[in-house]
């Protein structure tokens, strides 16, 4: 009996040790979950397919940091050159020289020795690489200039200016380093409705100005206990012509939100640069945070005028916004009894075949409602012979019944609901 207990104990102990070894092995390979590389690759490949990605991009790029300094990297998934998803925590991070600098699975790099390393991000078949230079030289001062050397240190209201921070290091005075991504950027104002400077990794040093200043606008950059001199920025008046706001007329539900767009006469999008206002904040009010400044939220039933402003010189024409209990967002067709909507603009029906259709409306409160009962229906495209080709039965409150009687050219069924129209092409084929 004692021997049986001992045998069981040894088996359990051996299994636990083996499990721990496998887990540790997974962690040492850069995967703290212990998942195999095949599983990781498969998961990453699914992300590529889901977001239809054709490339990934690391930020920041080509920078110099001091040893013992940490630097955070991010990765964006690109589709047709545009960033569509943050993949920082999904890629596999690699340093090609871990004795000089290591990087963890969150994209955080730590430098150890002078030299250069390549930071690599892999997402299944997609990859990107940036070079990082490491130096133990001490930072002595910071200077601020424009990212484009041909630009002056000035910006107009509702405009942007890309700034660059240069680090001057002891023993390297003649070769300043670009430390834009490493510094912390600050302004002498905390009112984001006047001006804001980005500390997001991909946009560090980007200055946006939304209003005029009575005093100078000053920019400061800080790193490793060193602070740059306050750099004055000249603010010029808005010169973009008339400000156009869209939509011109809109509805939003109580507690719902709507994104407005503001553009210059030349069509430049300045939605995140203007100062937005509602004529009655008790009815509708704009967001109080900078990244969503163009989002307005319905508070109570009523109507307001929405305007966008660039300093004292340019204000848009007011746009009418009505807050209601719920607002129409979109519509779709659905075969009765099915859960998914028809996601094509054309369907095919055989001769002497019937189909039951629902008309579904999505509202601003997120709910989707069958509005077949209150929808007007029309048939187009079959000419005067329509009654001999197809019939439409609207007697049921939940669905309409379409029945084909003869073969003819493709036609269209149109649903009209509270001024909103939705069409579906129907092609009748021989059985």
More confident residue, 9 or 391: 391
Q: Is the dihedral of CA 268, 272, 273, 279 positive or negative?
A: positive
Q: Which tens digit of pLDDT belongs to each residue from 352-390? A: 899 999 999 998 777 899 999 999 999 988 888 888 899
Q: What is the pLDDT of residue 16?
A: 39
Q: Ramachandran region of residue 131, left (φ > 0), alpha (ψ -120 to 50) or beta?
A: beta
pLDDT recorded at residue 34? 54
Task: Tell me if 242 sits within 8 A of 270, measured CB to CB.
Answer: no
Rounded to whole angstroms, the Cα distance separating 177 from 261 reads 38
Check pLDDT > 70 for residue 7: no
* DSSP-based three-state secondary structure for 48: helix
Q: Over 101-160, what HEC string results?
A: EEECCCCEEEECCCEEEEEEEEECCEEEEEEEEEECCCEEEEEEEECCCCCCCEEECCEE
Please name the residue that has the structure tokens 């005067």: 384
Q: What percent of the chain has pLDDT over 70?
A: 92
Whole-number mean pLDDT of the chain? Answer: 87
For the segment 47-68, the average pLDDT, to the nearest whole number, is: 88
- Cα dist from 9 to 4, 6, 19, whole Å: 9, 5, 16
Q: pLDDT tens digit string along 186-211?
A: 999 988 889 999 998 888 999 999 98
Q: Given this model, what pLDDT does residue 229 score?
A: 97
Instruction: Decide if 35-135 and 244-324 have a common fold.
Output: yes
226 Cβ neighbours under 8 A, 6+ residues apart:
139, 140, 141, 142
**Model confidence band, residue 95 (pLDDT cutoffs 50, 70, 90):** very high
CATH of 244-324, one of 1.10.600.10, 3.20.20.80, 3.30.360.10, 2.60.40.1080: 2.60.40.1080
Contact 209, 159 (CB under 8 A): yes
How many CA within 13 A on the CB side of residue 136? 5
Domain edges within the chain: 35-135, 139-236, 244-324, 328-429
Q: Give the model's pLDDT for residue 431.
A: 67
Does the domain at 35-135 match CATH 2.60.40.1080? Answer given as yes
pLDDT band at 314 (very low <50, low <70, confident <90, very high): confident
The dotted CATH code for 328-429 is 2.60.40.1080
- Is the CA virtual torsion 404, 405, 408, 414 positive or negative? negative
Q: Record the tokens describing residue 416, joined without a space.
A: 């009209």
Residues 106, 89 contacting (CB under 8 angstroms) = yes
Kindly report the number of other CB atoms within 10 A of residue 58's CB atom.
22
DSSP classification of residue 238 = P
User: Looking up tokens 């979950």, which residue turns up?
Assistant: 33
Mean pLDDT of 90-117: 93
User: Is pLDDT at 303 greater than 50 in this prediction?
Assistant: yes
Q: Class for domain 139-236, per CATH?
A: mainly beta
Residue range 103-131: average pLDDT?
94
Q: Are 207 and 200 in contact (CB under 8 A)?
A: no
């Amino acid at each position: 009996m004692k021997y049986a207990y001992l045998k069981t104990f040894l088996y359990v102990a051996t299994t636990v040790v083996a499990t721990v070894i496998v887990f540790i092995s997974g962690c040492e390979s850069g995967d703290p979950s212990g998942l195999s590389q095949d599983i990781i690759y498969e998961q990453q490949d699914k992300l590529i397919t889901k977001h239809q990605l054709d490339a990934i991009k690391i930020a920041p790029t080509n920078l110099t940091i001091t040893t013992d300094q940490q630097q955070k990297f991010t990765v964006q998934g690109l589709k047709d050159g545009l960033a569509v998803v943050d993949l920082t925590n999904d890629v596999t991070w690699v340093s090609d020289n871990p004795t000089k600098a290591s990087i963890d699975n969150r994209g955080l790099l730590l430098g150890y020795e002078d030299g250069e390393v390549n930071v690599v991000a892999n997402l299944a078949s997609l990859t990107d690489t940036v070079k990082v230079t490491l130096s133990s030289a001490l930072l002595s001062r910071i200077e601020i200039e424009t990212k484009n050397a041909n630009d002056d240190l000035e910006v107009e209201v509702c405009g942007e200016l890309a700034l660059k921070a240069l680090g001057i290091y002891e023993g390297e005075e003649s070769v300043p380093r670009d430390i834009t991504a490493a510094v912390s950027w600050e302004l002498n104002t905390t009112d984001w409705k006047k001006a804001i400077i980005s500390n997001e990794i991909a946009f560090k040093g980007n200055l946006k100005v939304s209003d005029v200043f009575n005093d100078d606008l000053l920019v400061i950059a800080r790193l490793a206990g060193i602070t740059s001199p306050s750099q004055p920025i000249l603010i010029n008046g808005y010169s973009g012509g008339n400000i156009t706001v869209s939509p011109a007329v809109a509805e939003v539900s109580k507690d719902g939100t709507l994104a407005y767009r503001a553009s210059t006469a030349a069509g430049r999008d300045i939605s995140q640069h203007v100062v937005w206002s509602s004529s009655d904040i008790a009815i509708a009010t704009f967001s109080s945070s900078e990244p969503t400044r163009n989002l307005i939220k319905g508070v109570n039933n009523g109507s307001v005028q929405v305007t966008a402003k660039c300093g004292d010189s340019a204000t848009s024409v007011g746009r009418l916004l009505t807050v209601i209990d719920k607002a129409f967002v979109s519509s779709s067709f659905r075969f009765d009894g099915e859960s998914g909507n028809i996601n094509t603009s054309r369907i095919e029906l055989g001769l002497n075949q019937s189909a039951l259709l629902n008309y579904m409306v999505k509202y601003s409160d997120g709910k989707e409602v069958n509005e077949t009962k209150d929808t007007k229906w029309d048939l187009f495209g079959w000419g005067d012979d329509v009654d001999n080709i197809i019939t439409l039965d609207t007697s049921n409150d939940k669905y309409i019944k379409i029945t084909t009687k003869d073969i003819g050219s493709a036609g269209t069924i149109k649903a009209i609901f509270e001024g909103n129209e939705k069409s579906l092409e129907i092609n009748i084929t021989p059985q």
